[in-house]
């Protein structure tokens, strides 16, 4: 099985900041808006280099979305930045009516997603955002797995004409994908080849899936790991082709199992290739305060939980 090496832990929000900075240097139409969270979104360098292309909106997220929609009319490519909870739940009406309905070229960039926000607790740990955003017609939904992929995704979405939801996180996590990768919207990435089970993961759960696959290999189980960084549009062919070979699948995400990646995969399988499936995700619950590691373990979002799901789904084949 192919091995992946952590090149040095880093937070995915810093990958966003690095990508935005590069866009500031290469694309004069890119502008940035923030709702009073510049440091948390790592937007400092972009602002330092492009002060005339930055708008501090303050704690007025709904206003930020509407301003961003208006900026697209003049040919600008606005990147909005705040926590995922405030990027979606607080402003869903404005996103639906002012951005999605008319297909505005706004990039909604959302940090501190999921339970790995940690100690701030349930009021800030949104676990419904992927479901909210993927249901909006025309909205692309992206959830990269590490620093390098988040940087690449940030750069790539500037070239896509239409609304995009880019989700990333707060904690420092393994950085294992290539620094020079080409990010293709809607294209799954096969990380390991396997014959016994398919593990489809997104975001922070991709590294956990790789650890699980390595542990399973020592038990004689061959796991195919696929990184689904784009939840919508979903790479259905990659999933179908994999389960035709393995015969079962585990989906893993730092999100509610209701409305997330797992349900999108289940729809693909139900209509094209019925296959036993197990779901890793939070189960119809809010989060709570704690360290990211504590919460990932408590809510069954780590490599051990993935291993157990693999054993269970293989028994169902």
Record the tokens describing residue 39, joined without a space.
């440091």
Half-sphere exposure of 316 (CA within 13 A, CB side): 16
What's the pLDDT tens digit per position in 205-222? 999 999 999 999 999 999
Ordered by start, the domain boundaries in the chain are: 10-173, 189-315
Q: Which of 61, 224, 263, 307 is catalytic?
A: 61
Residue 24, pLDDT above cutoff 80: yes
DSSP notation for 218-245 = TTT--EEEEE--EEES--HHHHHHHHHH
Question: Which CATH fold would you assign to the domain 189-315?
Answer: Rossmann fold (3.40.50)
Question: Residue 2's pLDDT band (boundaries 50, 70, 90)?
Answer: confident
The answer to whether the 10-173 and 189-315 domains have the same CATH topology is yes
Helices H / strands E in the chain, number of each? 12, 14
Question: Which CATH fold would you assign to the domain 10-173?
Answer: Rossmann fold (3.40.50)
What's the pLDDT tens digit per position in 30-47? 999 999 999 999 999 999
Say whether 61 is catalytic: yes
Can you say how many angstroms the Cα of residue 21 is from the centroid of all Cα atoms in its chain?
Answer: 20
Residue 1, pLDDT above cutoff 80: no
Q: What CA–CA distance (Å, rounded) separates 109 from 167?
A: 6
């Amino acid at each position: 099985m192919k091995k992946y090496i952590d090149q040095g832990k880093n937070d995915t929000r810093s990958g966003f900041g690095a990508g935005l900075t590069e866009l500031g240097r290469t694309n004069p139409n890119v502008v940035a808006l923030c709702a009073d969270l510049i440091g948390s979104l790592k937007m400092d360098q972009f602002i330092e280099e492009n002060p005339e292309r930055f708008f501090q909106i303050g704690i007025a997220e709904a206003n930020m979305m509407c301003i961003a929609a208006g900026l697209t009319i003049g040919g600008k490519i606005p990147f909005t930045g705040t926590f995922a909870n405030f990027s979606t739940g607080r402003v869903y009406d404005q996103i639906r009516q002012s951005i999605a309905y008319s297909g505005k070229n706004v990039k909604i960039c959302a940090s501190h997603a999921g339970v790995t926000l940690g100690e701030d607790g349930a009021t800030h740990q949104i676990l419904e955002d992927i479901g909210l955003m993927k249901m909006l017609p025309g909205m692309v939904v992206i959830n990269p797995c590490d620093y390098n992929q988040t940087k690449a995704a940030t750069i790539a979405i500037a070239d896509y004409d239409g609304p995009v939801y880019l989700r990333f996180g707060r904690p420092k996590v393994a950085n294992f994908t290539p620094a020079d990768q080409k990010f293709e919207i809607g294209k799954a990435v096969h990380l390991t080849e396997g014959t016994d089970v398919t593990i489809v993961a997104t975001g922070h759960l991709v590294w956990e899936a790789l650890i699980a696959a390595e542990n399973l290999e020592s038990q004689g189980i061959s796991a195919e790991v696929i990184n689904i960084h784009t939840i919508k549009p979903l790479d259905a062919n990659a999933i179908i082709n994999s389960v035709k070979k393995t015969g079962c699948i585990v989906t893993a995400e730092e999100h509610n199992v209701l409305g997330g990646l797992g349900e999108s995969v289940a729809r693909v399988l139900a209509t094209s290739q019925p296959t036993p499936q197990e779901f890793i995700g939070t189960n119809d619950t809010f989060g709570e305060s704690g360290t990211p590691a504590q919460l990932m373990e408590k809510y069954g979002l780590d490599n051990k939980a993935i291993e157990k799901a693999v054993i269970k789904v293989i028994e169902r084949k």
